[in-house]
Amino acid sequence: MKAKEGVLEFLNNILTAELTAAHQYIANAAMCGNWGYDRLHHTIQERALEEVTHAGGIVEHILYLEGKPDMQRLGTVNVGQTVLDQFKSDLKLEMADLQLLREAIGHCDKVGDYTTRHKLEEMSVDTDEHIDWLETQMETIRQVGLENYLSEQIKKDG
């Protein structure tokens, strides 16, 4: 199926955003592991995999639309030097991702590409959840204090 005007450009921009997110989460997860925060390490590693899945879905959809996925481009990867810095930069990244998805959904609506719109809507639900999780962590830190929060992250689940 041939893509409608402008859709492939949006999809490649989203692909870049998803690859960037995956890179950032991989780095942040590894750092949390290195600091001994096993719970955060596990959660953020899962998040990285989710972003890889998003990227893979976009690649498949670009191919379906007979386009060429751009695997070479990467945005700025912000690796936080503390857990709180990581949450802040992840939140910024997810917000930008959501903004881009919304713009793309609006464009798909305008050109009548409902298949792509549906896919992007599903991704924006995940992105909303990622934002919600980050906001919850930051609120918990505000309420219980950073030390208490971090000491809970050292424990292994189960």
Nearest approach, Cβ of residue 1 and Fe ion (Å): 23
Of 3, 48, 130, 150, which one interacts with Fe ion (CB under 5 A)? 130
Closest of 15, 1, 14, 10 to residue 110, by C-alpha: 10
CB 84 within 8 A of CB 90: no
Is 41 near Fe ion (CB under 5 A)?
Answer: no
Nearest approach, Cβ of residue 90 and Fe ion (Å): 8
- The rounded distance, in Å, linking the Cα atoms of 99 and 105 is 10
Burial letters 81-91, b for 16+ CB under 10 A, else e: eebeebbebbb
Is 54 near Fe ion (CB under 5 A)?
Answer: yes
Is 23 near Fe ion (CB under 5 A)?
Answer: no
Is 61 near Fe ion (CB under 5 A)?
Answer: no
The residues of the shown chain that bind Fe ion, judged by CB under 5 A, are 18, 51, 54, 127, 130
